[in-house]
Amino acid sequence: MTTIPITLLFADGVTHQLSATSGEKLLDVAASAGLSLLTDCSNGQCGTCVGSCVSGSLELDDYDPSVLPDDEREDGAVLCCVARIYEPVILELPYDSSEASAAEAPAQAGRVHSVKRVAEETVRLEVDVEAPVDFLPGQYVRLKPEGQHEWRSYSMANGSGESRLVFYVRIVEGGAFSRWLSDEPAAGTPIEVSAPRGSFFLRADDRPRLFVAGGTGLAPFLAMLRAIGSGKYLAAPTHLLIGVRTGEHLFAKDEVAALQREFPALDVRYAAESCAPDGCHLGYGTDLIGQMTVDPRTQVYLCGPPPMVEAGREAMAKAGLRKSDALCERFA
């Protein structure tokens, strides 16, 4: 059988030569060579796995064009998680080879502790695991309930090093995990929990921070604020903008207020696209960026649905911040 040569160029200069058969998925070819390329959603919805074709091209399965606009694709950008090989290609990856070589720790068995609807389309899920999970604040795990075939990614809202994990999950119509959760699994129901993953975590520096959350995109910020409140990270000036679809979708307000008591320099603002309660901006959370005076050194963290993340990147550029100062986590 004819094989097709693939060259992977990592940011640290390390090169890997692989060979594929026509139509093979890039991730499978890399995995057979012991490389675990960085991915989050694994289905073309988040943009974490972007790479750049220096020579040749890759075919892409379905993906969300908002995470890979056509002009970027024309310039050679690809989403590795949905890429298939049909011709020789040289692909540049924006991270060091060590990040792709590290074997992921095995998943562990967990059990549902509780499931509680906390707002419109929003459920708080608590899962108990035997070994406490250490993670960088903002990271996520993959969950696979008993009887389900697919893993889904959810960000921890609890603090690192705990054996009860807290998630806030938006219920999406027709979604597999959403359906399982809507049926309110009983306490004790088995659920597998992967090792923590992801590059969307709190950076340990003294720069002012702007956190922008869309819906359940608030979850990783709760973990970050817990870490700041516990004194593990510098309490640099921090703004938290929380945008939701309607006032009925607001959740975890008490939790945010408690975190604000531990970290008084935290400035919190809410926005709802409709039925905004008193004190809550009527519109998008990202509108609020234009209404603030932001320090040009600000590190921006954006987490939520892809259109919200894009709107946030545009708003920060208009506010005089550099798009390269944004860390993004796209929930899709």
Residue 81 binding result from ligand FAD, ligand FES, none, given CB thresholds of 5 to 8 Å by partner type: ligand FES
Residue 239 interacting with ligand FAD (CB under 6 A): no
CA-based angle 240:243:248, to the nearest 5? 125
Q: State yes or no: residue 329 binds ligand FAD (CB under 6 A).
A: yes
DSSP annotation of 324: G
CB nearer ligand FAD, residue 20 or residue 328 = 328
Stretch that binds ligand FAD, among 69-77, 163-171, 187-195, 317-325 (CB under 6 A): 163-171
Q: Footprint of ligand FES on this chain (CB under 6 A)?
A: 39-42, 44-49, 67, 79, 81
Q: How many CB atoms lie within 10 A of CB 248?
A: 15
Asked if residue 168 binds ligand FAD (CB under 6 A), the reply is: yes
Which position has the token pair 């939701």?
244
Residue 178 engages ligand FAD in binding (rule: CB under 6 A): yes
Q: Give the nearer residue to ligand FES in terms of CB position, either 19 or 39.
A: 39
DSSP string, 188-240: T-EEEEPPPB-S-----SSS-EEEEEEGGGGHHHHHHHHHHHTTSS----EEE
DSSP string for residues in 231-292: TSS----EEEEEEEEEGGG---HHHHHHHHHH-TTEEEEEEEEESPPTTSEES-TTHHHHTS
Cα radius of gyration rounded to whole Å, the chain: 20
Q: Is 211 in the site for ligand FAD (CB under 6 A)?
A: no
Give residue number: closest CB to ligand FAD. 175
| Binding of ligand FAD by 219 (CB under 6 A) | yes
- Choose which of 16, 124, 144, 170 interacts with ligand FAD (CB under 6 A): 170
Nearer to ligand FES, 64 or 255 (CB): 64
Instruction: Tell me phi and psi for residue 268, to 5 degrees.
Output: -115, 130
Return the number of the residue (47 or 138) whose C-beta is nearest ligand FES. Answer: 47
* 216 lies in the site for ligand FAD, by CB under 6 A: yes
Q: Are strands 162-170 and 266-274 parallel, antiparallel or unpaired?
A: unpaired
> Residues interacting with ligand FAD, by CB under 6 A?
40-41, 46, 140, 152-155, 167-170, 172-178, 198, 216, 219, 329, 331-332
